[in-house]
Amino acid sequence: MKAMEESTVLDAKVLELNMGPQHPSTHGVLRVKLKLDGERVVDAECIIGYLHRGVEKISENRSYIECVPYYDRTDYIAAVSNVYGFLLGVEAMMQIEVPKRAQYIRIMMTEFSRIASHLLWLATHAIDIGAMTVFLYCFREREEILKLFEALFGARLTTHAFRVGGLWKDLPPGFVEAARKFIDEFPERVDEYEQLLTKNRIWMARTQGIGVISGKEAIEWGLTGPVLRGSGVRHDVRKDRPYGGYEEFDFDVPVGENGDTYDRYLVRLEEMHQSRRIIQQVLDRLPDGPVRGKAPKIVKPPVGEYYSGIDGPRGELGYYIVSDGSAHPFRVRIRPPTFISLQVLRRLVKGHLMADVIAIIGTLDIVLGEVDR
């Protein structure tokens, strides 16, 4: 009784607050249990699994050809990269030769998907922090990329982009011109975003020094992609373990210095420029020829295990495929980059203000479809 009298509202030191799963700034259905001391975050706990569909288990009951469309739906923002990672693994297991033209188109579309993904990240990250205009501009450019996807793949978001051994169909007429037009205009558009954000004092105040993580610590947490590169570690699967013909193209890997939210923003903006450079080289050197190699009708990889890791827009996206020699994979394990970078959220938000939590969730660039799978 005495204790009850003594504890008033003013005495309550730590308040527990649920953020999500319906909170618009958590980019999906992420629930964060925050422990707050006033406005300061003392502790945070992520609760995931609201979007779990069991994609890995579904794959075990489908043939190699049939399970490809499901990987569109793990990371639905960059569906093209997801399919690419899985098919590279299957093709390596079966030693299928992919024609040069198909390889080039695959690289081009993966880089387009990286740009589209980063644009969506910038749009939502900016609107979380309060910059509404950037959101509208980014979605306009993303729309142009989605139109290219629609023309080539036949769908905008869940593209089912590539097939075993190459592509479904060759480029449609007018595609190269449309792609060229986009990449010619694109640097101008990025300059517009920069004009709105990079030197804006509100943006700088909200992002500089927020969610700092050092390079060494980022490696220890297993981070990859722009989050790791923002901390100054030059790690990119495209450079370290080139796959699918990336070694033929010339591009830089941008890195940040301080490892804060602002640096990760700058890294992602520069990555869009580098992706544009790769697309330009592809368009200049696009060879003629078939787009689908000799692939058997029934895909049956030999008994064995294979890991294929690619550099998706959010980091290293890996597929660990175990084959027992049948037409169905024995086991597919997806290494989702954002599942791993979400673990660091707890470490990053400690000591920050409540309003910075959404900035940090935004900068990790999580997609819940991929986290929960």
Partner 1 sequence: MIDFLKRIFLVDILKGMALTFRYTYRKVYTEQYPLEKPKLAERYRGAPRLNNDPVTGETLCIACDLCAEICPEDLIVVGSQRDPESRKKVLTHYTFDTSRCLFCGLCQEVCPTNAIELTQDFELAAYDRRSMVWDRKRLEKGWDRIDFGKDYHK
Which residues are near partner 1 by CB under 8 A? Answer: 62, 65-70, 72, 133, 140, 147, 150-155, 158, 160, 168-169, 172, 192, 195-196, 199-202
To which residue do tokens 């900016």 refer?
126
Nearer to partner 1, 42 or 65 (CB): 65
Nearer to partner 1, 200 or 258 (CB): 200
Q: Write the DSSP assignment of 269-292 as a string of letters.
A: HHHHHHHHHHHHHHHHH---S-SB
CA 226 – CA 82 distance, rounded (Å) = 17
φ and ψ of 145, to 5 deg: -65, -40
Nearer to partner 1, 13 or 52 (CB): 52
Nearer to partner 1, 83 or 360 (CB): 83
Q: State the minimum distance, in angstroms, from the CB of residue 180 to partner 1.
A: 18
Q: State the minimum distance, in angstroms, from the CB of residue 288 to partner 1.
A: 21
Nearer to partner 1, 178 or 219 (CB): 178
Paired tokens of 194: 């920069």
CA 284 – CA 245 distance, rounded (Å) = 15
Identify the DSSP state of 352.
Answer: S
Q: State the minimum distance, in angstroms, from the CB of residue 215 to partner 1.
A: 30
Q: State the minimum distance, in angstroms, from the CB of residue 199 to partner 1.
A: 5
Decide: 45 and 17 in contact? Cβ < 8 Å: no
Which residue type does 74 have? T
Nearer to partner 1, 192 or 248 (CB): 192
Q: State the minimum distance, in angstroms, from the CB of residue 65 to partner 1.
A: 7
Nearer to partner 1, 54 or 172 (CB): 172
Letter string b/e over residues 202-239, b meaning 16 or more CB atoms within 10 A of that residue's CB: ebeebbeebbbbebeebeebebbbbbbbbbbbebbbbe
Nearer to partner 1, 72 or 365 (CB): 72
Identify the DSSP state of 345.
Answer: H
Helix, strand, coil abundance in the chain, percent, nearest 5 = 50, 15, 35
Q: State the minimum distance, in angstroms, from the CB of residue 194 to partner 1.
A: 10
CA 127 – CA 361 distance, rounded (Å) = 13
User: Over 5-57, what HEC string results?
Assistant: HHCCCCCCCCEEEEECCCCHHHCCCCEEEEEEECCEEEEEEEECCCCCCCHHH
Q: State the minimum distance, in angstroms, from the CB of residue 292 to partner 1.
A: 11
Q: State the minimum distance, in angstroms, from the CB of residue 131 to partner 1.
A: 9
